[in-house]
Structure 1
């Protein structure tokens, strides 16, 4: 039967016991207050066996039990960071295993809400804080009345038109996205709020219509 330190396993085979990766347990699981689930991929109907967290703690080396070695690999000659507790002891892990564990989070724990439907970024738990953002695909237009850019070499030139581009960008803690304007010269990037982008788009349409139909332009706001 289930107990508070139970782990779901295949009860019908004699496969070798699964390795308990204590570093991947939640604080509640390490404290014996939640189940640790494991299900073999080819056996959807599973039985229940017992994982003894006290035994798992006792199987740690002395440096692991005293917070001087990684709880997963036992490494000591590296940077160690807190990894929560195992029952009543504080444990640590090396940066490599912390990165692997964070990278496996799906969705990453740093996401404060659902990813916007327009976002094409592949978020990872190990993303640096500066890289925790949403961005969309680019929309662009070729500026064929401007000087073309040489994307080749002086000896083998390859001239292509400048591309004016726009996309959506939102840092994960920002309230709403912004529209980013830039071009393939990579010499500028302007960030517009949604209201600013809408007003600017309307002004562009006013200019286009005035030029094509010889209309008067409205007074500036």
Structure 2
């Protein structure tokens, strides 16, 4: 079943948002019932400064718990628990705008 299928598990009361790529199944555990977008992998250099910098791939994904209304954007390292940003969709848009502005004006 795809996100655009007319058939869905009995527990799923809402329809998938257009960006959902999850194949929902009847046996999905309640804690795993989310709508998720494609996962983007962004090469990044992290650290408090050049002498402690490390390269990694950040993941960026839109997510919404099934039967809820709020979209969240996750930005973080896939293998680092507790080192993620979970931003409300409007907050993520403001952060993206601020980063674009900062980088544009920094030359």
Report the Cα distance in structure 1 between the residues aligned to 2:14 and 2:64, rounded to whole angstroms.
Answer: 13
Superposition map of 1:33-112 within 5 A: 106-112=7-13
Report the Cα distance in structure 2 between the residues aligned to 1:207 and 1:140, rounded to whole angstroms.
Answer: 22
Counterpart of 2:36 (choices 107, 111, 135) is 135
Cα contact 1:166–1:182 (8 A) shared by 2 = yes
Cα contact 1:143–1:162 (8 A) shared by 2 = yes
Give the SS at the match of 2:106: helix
Give the SS at the match of 1:170: strand
Superposition map of 1:1-221 within 5 A: 106-144=7-45, 146-147=53-54, 161-187=55-81, 188-212=83-107
Report the Cα distance in structure 2 between the residues aligned to 1:189 and 1:143, rounded to whole angstroms.
Answer: 14
Please identify the structure whose Cα radius of gyration is greater: 1
Structure 1 stretches of at least 4 aligned residues deviating more than 6 Å after TM superposition: none
Cα contact 2:19–2:36 (8 A) shared by 1 = yes
Equivalent position of 1:217 in the other structure: none
- 1:139 deviates by 1.7
Report the Cα distance in structure 1 between the residues aligned to 2:106 and 2:100, rounded to whole angstroms.
Answer: 10
Alignment gaps of 5+ in structure 1: 1-105, 148-160, 213-221
180-189 vs 115-124, greater mean Cα deviation: 180-189
Cα contact 1:162–1:184 (8 A) shared by 2 = no
Q: Which has the higher contact order (CA 8 A, sep 6+)?
A: 2
- 1:134 deviates by 0.8
CA offset digits 1:44-92 (Å, max 9, x no partner):
xxxxxxxxxxxxxxxxxxxxxxxxxxxxxxxxxxxxxxxxxxxxxxxxx
Give the SS at the match of 2:57: strand
